[in-house]
Structure 1
Amino acid sequence: MKTKIRHLIAAAAFMLPLGAAVASEGGPALEKAPIDIHDTESLQRGAQLFTNYCLSCHSASAMRYNRLADIGLTEDQIKENLLPPDAKVGDTMSIAMGKKDAKVWLGAAPPDLSVIARSRGADYLYAYLRGFYRDDTRPTGWNNLVFDKVGMPHVFWQWQGDQVLKTVKGEGGHEEHQLELVKAGTMTKLENGKANTVEFDRRMADLTNYLVYMGEPAQVKRHQIGYVVLMFLGLLLLPLAYFLKKEYWKDIH
């Protein structure tokens, strides 16, 4: 029996690195997303992008418009810049398109994005938003580096321009897929054959930042409360610990 257990442990130890290697080959390496949920200006820009470009197809049923006051927007600013004409400031971010109609028109109902950042991760979303490339085999004419055969069109293509997929030899002779900008957009530049995507990347970072915030709107306030609680406990317990130490070691010192 002990011999069998040892064999099982050895097999598990052998499979762990193999599983990690398979997982690493499942997709491209994801760049770290520049997320800062305390940057209210970035969150405001991201909220504007989301309501203007994403909310026409994707709902966010767990988020209300009035929660945007938590990122520094007034009710008037929400009404004037972000609220649809037929919606109220206390409504959830829903869409008029029904799931059945969406399936007929688009082939599948676009997912609700309320907690997409919690399920996919910020790095994935940041790479996805910047990972569209031209692909004539797809119905929309677009594909995505991190979501192969994606059904969603590239809604920011005028900003980013056209990218194409290139296959190059990586370390160890392995083939790697990379994107190359071949036609600049309004927020990108081609300078001496090199792509400058700083402005576009910043806008996609703002949108990703907002999606992360939307997944848990209370996290900023939760962090603030946590700091206050830790400071309070530190100020409360430090004197007690000091006098307890003096009492405990009084016969020695």
Structure 2
Amino acid sequence: MRKWLALLLLVPGISFAAGSNHPLDAVDIDLRDQASLQNGAKIFMNYCLGCHQMQYQRYQRTFNDLGIPEELGVEYLQFTGEKVSDYITSPMPATDSATWFGAPPPDLTLVARVRGPEWIYTYMRTFYAEEGKTFGVNNLVFPNVGMPHVLESLQGTPTKVYREKMVDGFIQKTEVFDLQTPGNGKLSADEYDATIRDLVNFLEYTGEPSRLQSESIGKKVLIFLVIFFVFAYLLKKEYWRDIK
């Protein structure tokens, strides 16, 4: 069961550049929201790690940065038997995944930097049921997506809602107006959106784990430069005061 749930963001490498013109929804990214980052890590480890990996991110670094006690992180967020100092890797053999899905699932360490948080946020919220597809679903952002809607148990089963208009005296369906969920998921629409926001927040963090630290150092450097400029200016005035 975990393997199916782990297909969270499966995008075959050969189709990684595919997409559509579907508008992207804004998402509130806040790397200081530790509770959101912790929940995003839990979602990733439980739903994505069976297929995807983060070959540039270590468990220990993740636990420390997100304020997760190491013993709790090992117990509840490590499922592959690796050491806490190891990189976050998937237990799925690459050869098997290539056979099953056509290409190995991509590494997700930098997916937020490559795709952008808005793309991931919209993508994970725009699956819909469509007969004839391998996994019975399609996606508005990624047409002909090669993965199942693995969060269907949380969101429910979205279906297309079409606009209708009169054409030559007949009512015809036109473009997709919206997606409608029948309420058969464990989460409400708002709760599901919040869950995806947490996941995206976590993926944004892994794309640049030192971002907050870099921003903090940058502010301190700017403050130092301002103070240094003041003293340099006063020293210059003092030095040139008696020179006519």
Residue 235 of structure 1 corresponds to: 227
If the length of structure 2 is used for normalisation, what is the TM-score? 0.80
The 5-angstrom pairing of residues 92-171 of structure 1 reads 92-168=87-163
Question: How far has the Cα of 1:179 moved from its partner?
Answer: 3.1
Question: How far has the Cα of 1:178 moved from its partner?
Answer: 3.6
| Distance in 2 separating the partners of 1:108 and 1:165 | 29
One-letter identity of the residue aligned with 2:192: F
One-letter identity of the residue aligned with 1:86: G
Could you report, residue by residue, the CA deviation over 1:72-100 in whole angstroms, capped at 9, with x for unpaired residues?
12211211211125111011111121222
Q: How many residues align?
A: 214
Question: How far has the Cα of 1:247 moved from its partner?
Answer: 8.4
Question: How far has the Cα of 1:103 moved from its partner?
Answer: 1.9
Give 4+ residue runs of structure 1 displaced > 6 Å after superposition: 245-250
The 5-angstrom pairing of residues 168-183 of structure 1 reads 168=163, 176-183=175-182
Could you report, residue by residue, the CA deviation over 1:179-233 in whole angstroms, capped at 9, with x for unpaired residues?
3224112112xxxxxxxx2111011000000001111111111111111111222
Residue 24 of structure 2 corresponds to: 30
Provide structure 2 residue ranges, at least 5 long, that are not aligned to the other structure.
Answer: 1-18, 165-173
Question: How far has the Cα of 1:239 moved from its partner?
Answer: 4.0
Between the aligned residues of both structures, percent identity stands at: 37
C-alpha change, 1:220 and 1:176, in structure 2 (3 Å) is farther
Decide which of 194, 197, 206 is 1:202's aligned counterpart.
Answer: 194
| Distance in 2 separating the partners of 1:225 and 1:181 | 46
Residue 3 of structure 2 corresponds to: none
If the length of structure 1 is used for normalisation, what is the TM-score? 0.77
Question: How far has the Cα of 1:244 moved from its partner?
Answer: 5.0
Indicate if the aligned counterparts of 2:20 and 2:140 stay in contact, CA closer than 8 A. no
C-alpha change, 1:232 and 1:49, in structure 2 (3 Å) is same
One-letter identity of the residue aligned with 1:187: L
Considering only aligned residues, what root-mean-square deviation do their CA atoms show, in Å?
A: 2.4
Provide structure 1 residue ranges, at least 5 long, that are not aligned to the other structure.
Answer: 1-24, 170-174, 189-196
Indicate if the aligned counterparts of 1:161 and 1:183 stay in contact, CA closer than 8 A. yes
Instruction: Please state whether the residue corresponding to 1:89 is helix, strand or coil.
Output: coil
2:188 is the alignment partner of 1:218: no
Instruction: Please state whether the residue corresponding to 1:162 is helix, strand or coil.
Output: coil
Question: How far has the Cα of 1:249 moved from its partner?
Answer: 10
Instruction: Please state whether the residue corresponding to 2:158 is helix, strand or coil.
Output: strand
| Distance in 2 separating the partners of 1:226 and 1:142 | 45
One-letter identity of the residue aligned with 2:44: F
| Distance in 2 separating the partners of 1:163 and 1:203 | 17
Indicate if the aligned counterparts of 2:42 and 2:77 stay in contact, CA closer than 8 A. yes
Indicate if the aligned counterparts of 1:161 and 1:186 stay in contact, CA closer than 8 A. yes
Higher relative contact order (CA 8 A, sep 6+): 2
Question: How far has the Cα of 1:56 moved from its partner?
Answer: 0.7
Residue 8 of structure 1 corresponds to: none
